[in-house]
Structure 1
């Protein structure tokens, strides 16, 4: 199940932090680098899904210490399964809150 609103929240986080957009690449989960943040164009939700480099996995991103955050809330993986929901949880410096940029060679 994919959760609407997380994508908008992530975009809002970047704007609120005053971060400039960067190259459009994929964000993969450190706990399972084969899973990427995937935008469901049908309902605007995002979830972890198999990385494939498609347009719905390309994001303008800016990272702060590999933790996408809003205040003291960080983007967290609820489970490691494809299609798993993502959530904003209190930052706890744990592996499920660590993210990395994966260059896919594309530009938005």
Structure 2
């Protein structure tokens, strides 16, 4: 399977810190599933250049999304049925990355 575009998902703990970056394919279903699977934490999703796609608050609700057209037309039609229990979040295939910032700094 060839991955076209990747995004990075960050899951923050109660202290505002994240443990790892989660790389996965950039699809509305994957993003909606990531948000709902981590609904008890604040999340941030960016592209691979770390440009903000969205943030979510505790409860799995979108907090910030600069691209309102994407939010209204692509993400919410997938996210809302999952939040309402009409649809199930899908399993996300996370992408292993060979690049590690910590390794570069040593």
- Whether the TM-score (by the shorter chain) exceeds 0.5 is no
Higher relative contact order (CA 8 A, sep 6+): 1
TM-score using structure 2 length: 0.28
TM-score by length of 1: 0.27
Higher strand residue share: 1
> Would you tell me which structure has more helix in proportion to its own residues?
2
Structure index of larger Rg: 2
